[in-house]
Amino acid sequence: MIAEAGRFGGWSLYMKGGQVHHVYNFGGVQRTVVSSPEKLAPGRHTVQYEFVYDGGAPGSGGISRLRVDGAPVAETRVPRTMPFLYSGDEGVDVGIDNKTPVTEDYREGDKRFTVKIQKVTVEIK
C-alpha cells in the first residue's frame, strides 16, 4: 500500500495472503513485522498504522500498531529505529515499492498493490 526507502532501511505497509502487514527495516540487519491475525473479508476497509516513539535519543524504539476499520488488530515492539535518514535515493511510494523491496515478503519487480487505494493519509504528531 505504501513504502518508504528499501532493502537497507525503511518501512512498508502491505498485504500478503489476505492479511495486513507492516515491516520496519532497521538498516537491512533487523526487520520487525506486525501482522493482522485474520485475513480481511472482501470489500472496502480502512487500514491504519501507528508508530508510538519512545522518545529520547535518535534511534530509540517504539510500539508498532495496526488497526483495521478502527479496531486494533495487532501490535509489537520495534527495538530501535534509524536515527536519521532511511535512504538517499529511495523515497515514498504508494501502491508499489519502486526500487529495492523493504521486506523479503515480496520480490523486486513483483510488488505492485493491485487493489484500488482510495486515500493515503500520513500524520506526524
- Encode pLDDT of 5-58 as tens digits: 999 999 999 999 999 999 999 999 999 999 999 999 999 999 999 999 999 999
Q: For residue 85, name the pLDDT band (cuts at 50, 70, 90).
A: confident
Q: Angle at the Cα of 9 (from 95 to 99), degrees rounded to 5?
A: 40
Grid coordinates given for 44: 472496502
Share the mean pLDDT of the chain. Answer: 92
Reported pTM: 0.91
